[in-house]
Structure 1
Amino acid sequence: MNQGDVDMRLRGCAWWIGAAMLSLIAQNTLAIDDDQLPPIMPVDDVRVGMKGYGLTVFAGTKIEPFPVEVISVMRSSFVITPPRGAMIWITCTDPRMLESGAVQGFSGSPIYLWDDGDPNDLGKDGRLIGAFATGYKWSKGCLAGVTPIQQMRSGARRAPDELNEQQAASRHGGPSSAAPLIRAVLDLANAQRLPDDATWRARSILQLMPDANDEHVPYGRVSSRHAMPAADIDESVVASPSMMPVPAGSPYVARLLAPLLEPWGLTPLAAPGVSIGSPPPDIDPDKLEFQPGSVLSLPLLLGDLEAAASGTVTEVWPDGRILALGHEIFAAGHAEMPMATGYAHFVVPSQLMSFRLAGSVQIRGTVVRDEFSGVVGMPVEQYRLSPMIIGVKMLHHPQRKYNFQLVHHRDLAPIYAVYAAMLCVQDVQALPVDNTLHMTGTLRFPEDRQIPIDRLAPQSSLANIILELLPPISAMINNPHEIAMLESMDLNLSVQPHRTDARLVDAHIDQVRVRPGQSVDITAYIQRYGEPTRAHHINVPLPANLPEGQYEVWVLDARRYGELRQTTRPHRMRTNNIDELHQRIVDIVSVRDNALYVAIPKIQPALAVGRQELPQLPSSRRKVLVTPTVTDVQPYVELIEHRIDLDFVPQGEAHFQITVKKHPSAS
């Protein structure tokens, strides 16, 4: 897709309403009352046995009716304002739905019931009762719960408040934590049996979060309606809002994304073709409008490849307000997600849970309200996008470059930034069995904060991309200090069809007794994959003022060196503001893989006050600071450090002891 196509789909036609008109829209929407809207059937008028129809799209853009019958009306007894908490249960007797059962993607399909005396013509007459919203897994036939339209309209009347941009800015919420998502990523890495060398950066960034070790903090939307059932409860007997299907490319990508997206009510589907962003040629984007029963697409990633969740429009108000889904996306109240007209490829019947594959056509506004009863969209441009450029170089293929726009969302943006990279690297073929993935690029955040990416990963899988990109992005967005959304990402992925890993077989030190200012000479024996062992000579100069004593000498790979820095300088793992957090993340991700590190801990502990290091304090000053009356003082260990850059990735460690004396021959 070229940039012109992207701009067309982002901007649509002349219907866009500028920010200067938002207050006028708010005034007009506040004036809408029930007399201006189609008639509805209140929950109290619904009776078991009443019949009617629903509207939805089975394929393409054609809205089709399907017959329904009410089998139960449930009213909650503990809510304050009826009909909150009510649910109308229906059966759908259309042959297609008897085969498929409740379909993910049909959420929001409007349901109408006939009054006595209506001719009962399918698709005609009747009063709107609500939106197709929920169902059971594994159920036979088609049993669905309907969210009453009264609840949905109540949320729609709150939508104009979201048009005040200054108020909206405060609704993004306060500081949060990336810890639950990073833990989910590490669980994924564990399931993929990735080694510690692949996960140490993610584990280190996790430790920057105050709740790093609190595994009771749930990942995903915290809602009793979406909470996972207890381990001893069969999910097939738990009714929950219909998940929203999202194309995810290959089956492997879908499996990787499932534990990250399903807690948010999104089902990744293995559907390679539907990730392509252009609609079928027989669809005129400018003529396709939102209607009750039409496809509602919620793009999360736009550009050369697309990812979008999909549902169905329930009701369209005269001012262009859209009511949809009949259940929440995140139930966060305020929302800023683009909404687009859409089309359906087809419905996939499944014994577990059927789903509809759909795609976007043209963005027509913003979802501004997200409640348990559904979402509300308005014809305004109040979402934000971040550009991403991803280049891919693979043997026997020309270099490729992809352009994307990433939707701003605190929880989903990190996932879909990684999703884009995974799709690009395997757009043409899978990674070779023997490979080295070289990731380079820059992540940019507000106020010119940048995180460089330079990762050399032998024997990589797509999970390695998740581990390297998602934790730093998520930590900058969700942290105890402030929200720093990803503003842009430039990434290059170079795939080499050979391994660059190596093993530190052995090492020895030439002299164990040295003087201050002298060099420590080390010979490291390293065996690259498929090659014989070779000697590498390392020369580490010692400071001239190094005190006499016994010293440990460590020869380390990247992971062990990074972990040693973390344990010897624990004060750096506490951050007081976003700039300190940013710098610490940069420190972690900047440790080169293709290097050996020599680290010699100094024997005299230093002190840090907060994050300020005081390495050479006189003993009198140390005594003053190390007292119960002085807080935030912590000892740390200084390291004499030396890095040896290599063109391969070594793994392993070696350890020695040396004696430093000014006159070693005299002892």
Structure 2
Amino acid sequence: MRTHPFGLPGLTGLALFVGLVAGLGLSLPLARGQARNPTIGVNEIKEGMKGYGLTVFRGTVPERFDVEVVGVLHNFRPSQDLILIKTPHPRLNITRNVKGMSGSPIYLDGGRLAGAYAYSLSNFQAEPVAGVTPIAPMLTEMQRPIPPGFWPSDRRGPLPAAPQPASPRRASLDSNGFEGAPGGYSLLAHAEQMAKRVARDRSGPVPTGTPLLMAGVGDRAAQLARKLFEPLGLEPMAAGGGQSPRADAPQHYVDGGAIGVQLTSGDVSMMGLGTVTHVQGNKLVAFGHPMFNAGDSALPTAIGSVLWIYASEQHSFKVGEAVRPLGALVQDRQSAIVIDEKQSGPTFPVRVEVKGVEVAPRKVWNSDVVEEKFMSPSLMATVFGSVVEATISERRDVTWQLHSKVSIKNHGTIELDDFGVAVGGLPEAGEWAASRAVRAVGDVLNNPWEPARIERVESTLNVQYTRDLWRLRGVELLDDEVDAGQRARITLHLSPFAGPDAVRTIEVTMAPELAGREVELEIVPGYEVTPELSAPENLTQLIANEPRQSVMPKSVVVQYRVPSQGVTYRGHVAARLPDFALDALRPTHASVGPDPFNSYVRTVIPMDRYIDGRDRVKVKVRENLR
């Protein structure tokens, strides 16, 4: 038999009733001989009242600490008060306010639950004083139902149950979704949007903070993680977070126990650490403040173990790791997060195999990443950055290629390539935010048409200890004038890192309609050229576009404008059309029609190395009189 958190078996139904009553702000009359209400309302709390709190200082077992009420701030948040307390305790007198203690239950009046330790008054606190979220609004959130279709039978997680209508020009927006054109995902732009949505007032008491404990994350990757997650109220730090299931770990959550929100697990792990406030049956409330304030959610959770509380003059924090995966965060609200032990948050595996390195800390990296519109691309970028940082820690030049296979449920697998040349050191971590694989996952999960599932990401990192690069030092036009329809010859002067310069002569055919004109030829690396793509109108078209975002990476492209225009429409591209065709396609009774674009003629020339640099030359095109 499971025991009620207050030591009384079989009171789950009573506790649910009490929670509903407290959430409605009502008092519960007690019959003669009936047990006292196990919670205490704000209207009963007086200055000077003493009690205790529960939290984990080390390991998994909660310990008591003394508290004394300072007073109550009324209507601190919309329809939510704040109880101020002192916490005289040998450890807390040193650490003062502690990140990771959020949710620690506070008991007054002989053991009645008052609320959750949740707010600090400022950084650099001189005394151990904290803000307590009252238990009533937290219990109310525990009763909030999950919307129909939110947890489909195939555990798709926080996605609508059916395809949703949306403009083909902009992705539909939810609390964590990307606002932008479908197929135009940018992780850094998404991070800026998220930061604006969750901006918090820092002028008074603020949430104690959730340490995002990282394991297996390199220093540069950690910088990227901080850029992505700090604006959301998380505190990324290399201080644990690794998932190590233990046979002796508790089987269920307990009041005052440590709880982790497991964003990624495995060889690269990241876990938000906090404290359980109150368990009722299979559900519990924790934190006493939101994690992202994202509403209905589906993030994996785990029972946590605390190794130590690091004392800091600025803000102390707990460090620890997960010891048993259990349940999912299902509500992320103003007063609390709600966890259901019977649910599981959707994740997908990310596997990276390393080749070309004789000795490496690890040849195969495996992590499970939470499936969520912002978290998935953010965590993938952190995983990729960490693998590269651990593998390529050299002063030598390095050329790397990351070949990724992204499998999408019911839509097959797409293959994408990322590459780079790190001159005398490591690639910058920020490069991974623009990774093609990261962008593809962001595009798919943020599509406005239908729920999408990422089944897995499998990548191979190929490393060469060389600067596989030519710098374009100049170009030379061999023919100042050419006939229309004939070829212009261009010599490329290429400079390697070491050794003699190289010369390559290439040819490009001049379009007949350019007769009598002077034409500017632009010479650019292939990876910088984005072909014309039709704006996707459904998920299938969006996925088909992903591998077409650039031309051959090891190539040089010669391109020039032509007078005609092209159009994209309903998944199709017509590159060069005469004016009469454009007039015929232009709609007369509707605002939706083909999208015109300026036409370019492009010649792609494969190269042995990546090209860095670009140049321009002009050629005169004669009329061909023959």
TM superposition score normalised by structure 2: 0.82
**2:379 match:** 416
Is 1:463 the counterpart of 2:430? The answer is: yes
**Counterpart code for 1:377:** I
Distance 1:252 1:623, change over 3 A: closer
Report if the CA contact (8 A) 1:179-1:212 is conserved: no
Describe how 1:480-519 pairs up with structure 2 within 5 A. Answer: 480-519=448-487
Is 1:405 the counterpart of 2:372? The answer is: no
**1:391 match:** 353
**What secondary structure is seen at the aligned counterpart in 2 of 1:463?**
helix
* Counterpart pick for 1:239 among 200, 205, 221: 205
Report if the CA contact (8 A) 2:100-2:275 is conserved: yes
**1:561 match:** 529
Distance 1:548 1:37, change over 3 A: farther
Distance 1:516 1:306, change over 3 A: same
**What secondary structure is seen at the aligned counterpart in 2 of 1:637?**
strand
**2:411 match:** 448
Q: Distance in 1 between matches of 2:420 and 2:197?
A: 35
Distance 1:166 1:216, change over 3 A: closer
Distance 1:363 1:221, change over 3 A: farther
Which whole-Å deviations, capped at 9, do the CAs of 1:505-528 have from their partners, x for residues lacking one? 111222233345533322101001
**What secondary structure is seen at the aligned counterpart in 2 of 1:147?**
strand
* Counterpart pick for 1:301 among 264, 273, 285: 264
Q: Distance in 2 between matches of 1:357 and 1:214?
A: 31
* Counterpart pick for 1:127 among 101, 112, 126: 112
Is 1:172 the counterpart of 2:159? The answer is: yes
* Counterpart pick for 1:322 among 279, 284, 306: 284
Q: Distance in 1 between matches of 2:115 and 2:329?
A: 19
Could you tell me how far 1:384 is from its partner in structure 2? 1.4
**1:577 match:** 538
Report if the CA contact (8 A) 1:277-1:305 is conserved: no
Is 1:525 the counterpart of 2:500? The answer is: no
* Counterpart pick for 1:427 among 390, 412, 415: 390
Which whole-Å deviations, capped at 9, do the CAs of 1:254-303 have from their partners, x for residues lacking one? 222112011222211033xx254325xxx534544311111111111122
Report if the CA contact (8 A) 1:606-1:638 is conserved: yes
Q: Distance in 1 between matches of 2:347 and 2:186?
A: 29
**1:3 match:** none
**1:156 match:** 142
**Counterpart code for 1:298:** V
Q: Distance in 2 between matches of 1:636 and 1:177?
A: 28
* Counterpart pick for 1:375 among 323, 326, 337: 337
**1:25 match:** none
Distance 1:216 1:295, change over 3 A: closer
Count of aligned residue pairs for this structure pair = 580
Which whole-Å deviations, capped at 9, do the CAs of 1:36-83 have from their partners, x for residues lacking one? 99701111111111111111111222321111111111121895xxxx
Could you tell me how far 1:539 is from its partner in structure 2? 2.8
Report if the CA contact (8 A) 2:142-2:285 is conserved: yes
Distance 1:221 1:109, change over 3 A: farther
Could you tell me how far 1:417 is from its partner in structure 2? 1.6
Q: Distance in 2 between matches of 1:93 and 1:238?
A: 22
Distance 1:100 1:616, change over 3 A: closer
* Counterpart pick for 1:220 among 195, 199, 212: 195
- Unpaired segments ≥5 residues, structure 1: 1-14, 16-27, 116-125, 184-204, 230-234
**Counterpart code for 1:102:** N
Distance 1:38 1:387, change over 3 A: farther
**Counterpart code for 1:96:** R
**What secondary structure is seen at the aligned counterpart in 2 of 1:95?**
coil
Q: Distance in 2 between matches of 1:374 and 1:362?
A: 22
**1:142 match:** 128
- Report percent identity of matched pairs: 24
**Counterpart code for 2:407:** R
Report if the CA contact (8 A) 1:179-1:211 is conserved: no
**What secondary structure is seen at the aligned counterpart in 2 of 1:165?**
coil
* Counterpart pick for 2:94 among 99, 109, 113: 99
Which whole-Å deviations, capped at 9, do the CAs of 1:401-459 have from their partners, x for residues lacking one? 12222222222111112222222223366354532222111223333254432122112
**Counterpart code for 1:239:** P
**What secondary structure is seen at the aligned counterpart in 2 of 1:366?**
strand
Q: Distance in 1 between matches of 2:493 and 2:225?
A: 40
**Counterpart code for 2:486:** Q
Could you tell me how far 1:220 is from its partner in structure 2? 3.3
* Counterpart pick for 2:107 among 101, 112, 123: 112
**What secondary structure is seen at the aligned counterpart in 1 of 2:230?**
helix
Q: Distance in 2 between matches of 1:370 and 1:608?
A: 42
Could you tell me how far 1:155 is from its partner in structure 2? 0.8
**1:54 match:** 53
Is 1:45 the counterpart of 2:44? The answer is: yes
Q: Distance in 2 between matches of 1:182 and 1:528?
A: 41
Distance 1:37 1:457, change over 3 A: farther
Normalized per residue, the structure richer in strand is: 2
Q: Distance in 2 between matches of 1:287 and 1:170?
A: 26
**What secondary structure is seen at the aligned counterpart in 2 of 1:520?**
strand
Which whole-Å deviations, capped at 9, do the CAs of 1:172-206 have from their partners, x for residues lacking one? 367546999999xxxxxxxxxxxxxxxxxxxxx98
Distance 1:595 1:72, change over 3 A: same
Q: Distance in 2 between matches of 1:602 and 1:36?
A: 86
Q: Distance in 1 between matches of 2:103 and 2:134?
A: 11
**Counterpart code for 2:261:** L
Q: Distance in 2 between matches of 1:100 and 1:642?
A: 65
Distance 1:366 1:214, change over 3 A: closer
**1:266 match:** 234
Distance 1:215 1:110, change over 3 A: closer
Which whole-Å deviations, capped at 9, do the CAs of 1:354-403 have from their partners, x for residues lacking one? 11112111122222222111112122134212122111235341570122
* Residue range with higher mean Cα deviation, 408-417 or 489-498: 489-498
Distance 1:499 1:78, change over 3 A: closer
**What secondary structure is seen at the aligned counterpart in 2 of 1:300?**
strand
**2:298 match:** 336
Which whole-Å deviations, capped at 9, do the CAs of 1:600-655 have from their partners, x for residues lacking one? 32233345557644455455444445687675355423322222222322122222
Report if the CA contact (8 A) 2:309-2:316 is conserved: yes
Report if the CA contact (8 A) 2:177-2:446 is conserved: no
Is 1:637 the counterpart of 2:598? The answer is: yes
**Counterpart code for 2:494:** I
**2:27 match:** none
Describe how 1:25-44 pairs up with structure 2 within 5 A. Answer: 32-34=16-18, 39-44=38-43
* Counterpart pick for 1:587 among 540, 548, 551: 548
**1:8 match:** none
Q: Distance in 2 between matches of 1:353 and 1:470?
A: 33
* Counterpart pick for 1:600 among 560, 566, 588: 560
**Counterpart code for 1:535:** V
**What secondary structure is seen at the aligned counterpart in 2 of 1:111?**
strand
Distance 1:270 1:260, change over 3 A: same
Distance 1:388 1:609, change over 3 A: closer
Distance 1:327 1:37, change over 3 A: farther
Report if the CA contact (8 A) 1:221-1:330 is conserved: no
**1:232 match:** none
* Counterpart pick for 2:445 among 465, 477, 484: 477
* Counterpart pick for 1:656 among 583, 600, 617: 617
Distance 1:151 1:88, change over 3 A: same
* Counterpart pick for 2:307 among 313, 333, 345: 345
Distance 1:487 1:178, change over 3 A: farther
